[in-house]
Structure 1
């Protein structure tokens, strides 16, 4: 299909929890194609449906050359202690902050055939799974920052040329 434009912080779709996908039809197949085309751009680790303006529970990922998607994902397991990792977001361009994330995450959902799909990983994959599920729950990574860091982040957002 096509790469879709990324919605920017301030767009209400980014703060709205998504709807479960109940029927897999041509509309959903087209959404998955658009998510995959949108995540293949260099430097992108994931794209949630909300980031392309769609309020459905789906995301694509591109981690170390492994590209895929998942429908109706839910985090079912995390392991380890929260660690502060450098994180950015396509919807909050050019800003990076140390964000608490678990070093391991496991997500369950379905594929386009309705089969159970399990994604799991450590490092960047764990971070991407948590980040994209947050988007689908109506959160952005700034929501996870401690109060002083969030205050600074919001100052930088307000002073950015894109806000």
Structure 2
């Protein structure tokens, strides 16, 4: 998911893996360890597949993938990134995003499942949404203002992450990716075509900005 407008790197309250922490660096430690990977773009088959569950936890390979995803997300100015966005067929995503209340959320989750929200408790919010695999355009997308996702951390420990507002949007957006869905699928045909046309004209500038960020971070 592309980072929302107005999300800055100021000192904030921080929750890592859903748990409040007293302090946290501006760049997540995973960013320093990770390497940049190419981000897949709409039209590539892996973005349209339901991904495989993670079955091997606590491995160096999984830890390395998470580090690389954090680094890639940072370079792309992202709020969140799913594994198929770096061409990996696994149900896994990472996030580093600040919500409307100034709380920064940082973490990763494997095999996530969103809790069902009873119809009477559903509250949809329409806000701008973008995607790192659709470089450039933002469009208004309705999402629930509250989300709870359950899964596992890289070591196989159970994990429950709750989000509201923009963070809830991020959790829903990234979970969609793992089922082969893009935010474009939630638009009308007209809006979808408009977004794809805008992407064609904007993507070179987006790619150049990512390259500059990678150079600045030594990635």
TM surpasses 0.5: yes
* Residue 194 of structure 2 corresponds to residue 160 of structure 1: no
Matched position secondary structure for 2:115: strand
**In the aligned structure 2, how far is the partner of 1:106 from the partner of 1:27?**
27
Q: CA deviation at 1:106?
A: 0.7
Q: Does 1:8 align with 2:41?
A: yes
Q: 1:50 aligns with which of 72, 84, 102?
A: 84
The higher radius of gyration belongs to: 2
Q: For 1:88, what is the secondary structure of its paired residue?
A: strand
Aligned position for 1:74: 113
- Please list every run of 5 or more consecutive structure 1 residues that lacks an aligned counterpart in the other structure: none
TM-score by length of structure 2 reads 0.68
Provide the alpha-carbon RMSD of the alignment: 1.9
Whether the aligned pair in 2 keeps the contact of 1:106 and 1:119 (CA below 8 Å) is: yes
Q: Which residue of 2 aligns with 1:142?
A: 184
**Structure 1 counterpart of 2:8:** none
The answer on whether the counterparts of 1:36 and 1:69 sit within 8 Å (CA) in structure 2 is: no
TM-score, with length taken from structure 1: 0.89
Q: What SS does structure 1 have at the residue aligned with 2:62?
A: helix
Gaps of 5+ in 2: 1-33, 99-103, 205-219
User: 1:155 Cα deviation (Å)?
Assistant: 4.3
> 3-state SS of the aligned residue for 2:108?
strand
* Aligned equivalent of 1:105, options 139, 147, 150: 147
CA distance in 2, matches of 1:2, 1:28: 14
Query: Which runs of at least 4 in structure 1 moved beyond 6 Å after TM superposition?
Result: none
Q: Distance in 2 between matches of 1:18 and 1:57?
A: 6
Count residues with an aligned counterpart. 162
The secondary structure found in structure 2 opposite 1:124 is helix
Q: Secondary structure at the match of 1:130?
A: helix
Assess, with a 3 A threshold, how the Cα gap between structure 1 residues 155 and 44 changes in structure 2: closer, same or farther. Answer: closer
Task: Give the direction of change, closer, same or farther, for the CA distance of 1:16–1:82 in structure 2 (3 Å limit).
Answer: same
Q: Which has the higher strand share?
A: 1
